[in-house]
């Protein structure tokens, strides 16, 4: 079983819809959770960073962590065509400059 599972999609939604993405993980030591957005032929960009269970909101983005279920989610409200990208979840067990465990990435297409 991979450490981090993420359905690669692709996921197509109409403009204005809510995009819901999620990852599950098996390592209960993971405490730090990140979501990255990657446009085609570009490096990933850090979108959200959380380290506790619950919700964190930043503009149209909400990151949700449920450590008891080993499940994290990213919601994008009022989706725009510019949100079309691949979204990767990543997680880490401890502080410091440690390697991240990445999901496969979920391709999202927002249709105008």
Partner 1 sequence: GAVVSQHPSWVICKSGTSVKIECRSLDFQATTMFWYRQFPKQSLMLMATSNEGSKATYEQGVEKDKFLINHASLTLSTLTVTSAHPEDSSFYICSASTLFVGGAGNEQFFGPGTRLTVL
- The contact set with partner 1 (CB under 8 A) reads 8, 32, 34, 36, 41-46, 49, 51, 88, 90, 92, 94-100, 102-105, 107
Between 1 and 94, name the residue whose CB sits nearer to partner 1: 94
Shortest separation between residue 59's beta carbon and partner 1, angstroms: 18
Give which of 71, 97, 74 is closest to 86, Cα–Cα. 74
Give which of 95, 97, 89, 107 is closest to 48, Cα–Cα. 89
Shortest separation between residue 68's beta carbon and partner 1, angstroms: 21
Between 11 and 17, name the residue whose CB sits nearer to partner 1: 11
Q: How far apart are CA 76 and CA 92, in angstroms?
A: 23
Contact 48, 61 (CB under 8 A): yes
């Amino acid at each position: 079983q991979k450490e981090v599972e993420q359905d690669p999609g692709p996921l197509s939604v109409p403009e204005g819809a809510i995009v819901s993405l999620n990852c599950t993980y098996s390592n209960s030591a993971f405490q730090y959770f990140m979501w990255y957005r990657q446009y085609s032929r570009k490096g990933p960009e850090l979108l959200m960073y959380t380290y506790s269970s619950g919700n964190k909101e930043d503009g149209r983005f909400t990151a949700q962590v449920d450590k008891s279920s080993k499940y994290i989610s990213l919601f994008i409200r009022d989706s725009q065509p510019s949100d079309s990208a691949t979204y990767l979840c990543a997680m880490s067990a401890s502080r410091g400059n440690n390697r991240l465990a990445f999901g496969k990435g979920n391709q999202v297409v927002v249709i105008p």
